Amino acid sequence: MHKPLFHRLVSKDVETEEVDPHSVGGGLLSAERDAIQGAAQTRVEQFTAGRVCSRLALARLGVAATTPIERGEDRAPIWPRGFIGSITHTDTWCAAAVARLGELRSLGIDLESATPLKEALWRRVCTPDEREWLRELPDAGRMGKVLFSAKEAVYKCQYPLTSQFLGFHAVQVEIGDGSFRAVFRQEVGEFKPGHEMTGRYLVEDGFVATACELRA
Ligand X SMILES: CC(C)(COP(=O)(O)OP(=O)(O)OC[C@H]1O[C@@H](n2cnc3c(N)ncnc32)[C@H](O)[C@@H]1OP(=O)(O)O)[C@@H](O)C(=O)NCCC(=O)NCCS
Q: Where does this chain bind ligand X (CB under 6 A)?
A: 46-47, 50, 71, 74-77, 87-89, 110-111, 151-152, 154-156, 159, 166, 168, 170-171
Q: State how far the Cα of 210 lies from the Cα of 198, in Å rounded to an integer.
A: 10
* Identity of the residue, 145 or 156, whose beta carbon is nearer to ligand X in the bound complex: 156
Cβ closest to ligand X, residue 20 vs residue 138: 20
Beta carbon of residue 12, minimum distance to ligand X (angstroms, whole number) = 23
The enclosing H or E element of 201 equals strand 196-204
For residues 134 and 154, which CB has a smaller minimum distance to ligand X in the complex? 154
- Compute the least distance from the CB of residue 69 to ligand X, in Å: 8
User: Nearest-CA neighbor of 35 among 76, 71, 67, 85?
Assistant: 71
Closest approach, Cβ 139 to ligand X, in A, equals: 21
126-157 as b/e, with b when 16 or more CB fall inside 10 Å?
Answer: bbeebbebbeeeeebbbbbbbbbbbbbbbbbb
**Angle at the Cα of 75 from the Cα atoms of 74 and 76, rounded to 5 degrees:** 95
Nearer to ligand X, 24 or 138 (CB): 24
To ligand X, the closest distance from the beta carbon of 152 in angstroms equals 5
Of 53 and 138, the one with the shorter C-beta distance to ligand X is: 53
As measured in angstroms, the least distance from the Cβ of 33 to ligand X is: 13
User: Least distance from C-beta 8 to ligand X, angstroms?
Assistant: 18
- If the CB atoms of residues 74 and 136 are measured against ligand X, the closer one turns out to be 74
**Residue number with CB closer to ligand X (75 or 81):** 75
DSSP conformational letter for 188:
B
Using alpha carbons, list the distances in angstroms from residue 30 to 48, 72, 80, 129, 151. Answer: 12, 15, 16, 47, 33
Ramachandran quadrant class, 200 (left: phi over 0; alpha: psi -120 to 50; beta: rest): beta
- Identify the H or E element spanning 87: strand 83-89
To ligand X, the closest distance from the beta carbon of 54 in angstroms equals 9
Q: Is 173 helix (H, G, I), strand (E, B) or coil?
A: strand
Determine the distance from the C-alpha atom of residue 122 to the mean position of all C-alpha atoms in its chain, rounded to a whole number.
20
